[in-house]
Amino acid sequence: MIKKESLIKITNLRKSFGKEEVLKGIDISIKKGERVAVFGDNGSGKTTLLRCIIGLYRYEGKISVFGMNPRNQRSIIAEKTGYAPQLPPPISMSVSHLIDFAFDLSKKNREQVYNILNEIKFNENGVNRSFRKLSGGMQKKVLIAIALGREPELLIFDEPVAYIDPESRNIVATIINNLPQNTTIVYTSHASFREPEIIPTRIIEMDNGDIIKDILHEKGRGGK
């Protein structure tokens, strides 16, 4: 058996905001093709962990993504990564212009985004509206469609199905579950795992900036 190398390698990761230490020496190794669910209550450090991985925050310790430093080589990593935050940013441009902007950077076929938006019940008239004026659920659909449409090697989602209506939530989960097996996925949730949402191959649970559980999930690995 060929041993897979770590796509994401995190060693002694620490992050503080002022005097508050939010991440307390995290060690994680994620291999290509793993689908990792990071669970925990609000304030456990989940979002901070993701933001460190994609290079949005300075931190102490070491992070390697595709063998690169996410702070120093963020643009190169971004070419291979799709990211959808929990709280959409206040972007003033229209949805169509946002899609154009994202795909001018990635050089991928943007039509796939529109196909996904249609599949997840995004109102086609919404593409001409300002992104900032959409509902939270509609904003989330746009960001997820852009992330998926770029067909990246690594997908990072912060609460991917939060704020989305139940029907679309199930569709989004199905799309993600059916992605190629070599796509690496890391996503957060504050809720306990339940069907029919995204099925992980591995579950990490965080509490107060520490990892308190890290286990394989048999159903995500093809078990029953």
Domain ranges of the chain: 6-221
For 51-76, what is the mean pLDDT? Answer: 96
pLDDT at 195: 45
Number of other residues whose CB lies within 10 A of the CB of residue 33: 15
**Alpha carbon distance 62, 132 (integer Å):** 35
Mean pLDDT of 44-48: 96
Q: Mean per-residue pLDDT for 170-198?
A: 85
CA dist 113 and 158 (Å) reads 19
Spatial contact of 70 and 77, defined as CB atoms under 8 Å apart: yes
Please give the CATH number for the structural domain made up of 6-221.
3.40.50.300
Q: What is the pLDDT of residues 127-139, one digit of tens each?
A: 999 999 999 999 9
Q: How sure is the predictor about 191, in pLDDT bands with cuts at 50, 70 and 90?
A: low
In this prediction the pTM is 0.91
pLDDT in tens, 94-128: 999 999 988 876 667 789 999 999 999 898 889 99
The answer to whether the CB of 212 falls within 8 A of the CB of 46 is no
Give the rounded percent of residues in the chain with a pLDDT score beyond 90.
Answer: 75
Strands (E) in 120-221, as ranges, are 154-158, 184-189, 202-207, 210-216
